[in-house]
């Protein structure tokens, strides 16, 4: 079965309208509040001056809203440890996305204590939450800087779950473009339908490399700062060849990183087979 051309949400726009009574609508709302969601996405930005406020949709969240049926995802605009845990247990997601801040050993959530600005979550604490749902998880996507070490710990603990991560720091816009292509791919499938996570990752990787340079942003950061200062003083345009790279994404399974070249080879091979006998091979 080839990848659908349209997302599930787009296909459902052609379904006939159904008129429901208020009571029926209420029953639907109650049922939907307890149904499984394909994607649970957490947004956390505890560096904001007022983290307790309900945040407006950012471009990260609009990625989710644009592509997916609203009944297929749960989106947390503000994420504490308790909110993260409750959503994992309640919605049995196939895919968990985290948009936020991280370092090599922690992701940073909002704090439920108003006296504390942020709540660091280490790999063991994150694993403990994720292990409350091991039946449906297919992928955990960490759209945050320097998450390789956390990803490896999680991947070993959840060996059949793909983990997407970043080796380095990355630009917010770069992670956003990657996430948009990744989510667009998975939005073409319904809950429980078979698809290959590494191919969704590959779509995100391709979109990232179309717009940004793969590499560690810190390697040329100081040189780029000096170049920007020189250009500002001289009134000239900065030399873009001195601009640093924008990040290095990765994907792993069972604690082992999957080289993007292997994904490309597999997709090319299956595509070639599907052309010779399309009934027997799914290019995804």
Give domain status of residue 8, yes or no: no
Pick from 38, 44, 140: nearest CA to 97: 140
Find the CATH number of the domain harbouring 85.
Answer: 3.40.50.1460
Q: What is the pTM of this model?
A: 0.81
Please tell me which residue, 201 or 60, carries the higher pLDDT value.
201
For residue 127, what are the domain limits?
35-212+247-259
Q: How does pLDDT run across 143-182, given as a tens digit for each residue?
A: 999 999 999 999 999 999 999 999 999 888 888 899 999 9
Query: d(Cα 90, Cα 39) in Å, to the nearest integer?
Result: 12
Q: How does pLDDT run across 219-260, given as a tens digit for each residue?
A: 888 898 999 999 999 999 988 888 888 899 999 999 999 999
Q: Which residue has the tokens 């991947």?
A: 155
Query: d(Cα 164, Cα 178) in Å, to the nearest integer?
Result: 11
How, if at all, do strands 118-122 and 106-110 pair? antiparallel
Give domain status of residue 22, yes or no: no
Give domain status of residue 112, yes or no: yes
Q: How does pLDDT run across 45-82, given as a tens digit for each residue?
A: 886 544 444 444 566 677 777 778 777 888 888 899 99
């Amino acid at each position: 079965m080839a990848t659908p051309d349209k997302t599930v949400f787009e296909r459902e726009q052609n379904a006939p309208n159904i008129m429901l009574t208020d009571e029926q609508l209420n029953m639907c709302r109650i049922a939907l509040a307890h149904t499984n969601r394909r994607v649970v996405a957490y947004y956390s930005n505890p560096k904001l001056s007022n983290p307790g406020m309900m945040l407006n949709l950012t471009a990260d969240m609009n990625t989710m809203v644009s592509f997916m049926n609203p009944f297929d995802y749960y989106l947390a605009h503000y994420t504490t440890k308790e909110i993260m845990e409750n959503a994992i247990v309640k919605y049995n997601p196939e895919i968990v996305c985290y948009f936020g801040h991280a370092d090599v050993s922690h992701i940073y959530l909002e704090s439920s204590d108003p006296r504390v600005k942020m709540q660091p979550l280490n790999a063991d604490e994150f694993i403990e939450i994720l292990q409350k749902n091991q039946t449906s998880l297919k992928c955990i996507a960490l759209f945050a800087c320097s998450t390789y070490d956390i990803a490896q710990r999680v991947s070993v603990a959840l060996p059949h779950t793909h983990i997407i991560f970043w080796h380095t720091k990355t630009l917010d816009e770069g992670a956003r473009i990657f996430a948009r292509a990744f989510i667009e791919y998975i939005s073409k499938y319904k809950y429980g339908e078979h698809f290959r996570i590494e191919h969704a990752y590959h779509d995100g990787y391709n979109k990232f490399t179309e717009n940004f340079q793969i590499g560690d942003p810190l390697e040329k950061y100081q040189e780029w700062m000096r170049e920007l200062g020189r250009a500002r003083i001289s009134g000239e345009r900065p030399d873009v060849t001195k601009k640093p790279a924008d990040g290095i994404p990765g994907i792993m399974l069972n604690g082992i990183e999957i080289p993007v070249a292997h994904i490309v080879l597999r997709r090319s091979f299956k595509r070639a087979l599907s052309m010779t006998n399309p009934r027997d091979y799914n290019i995804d």
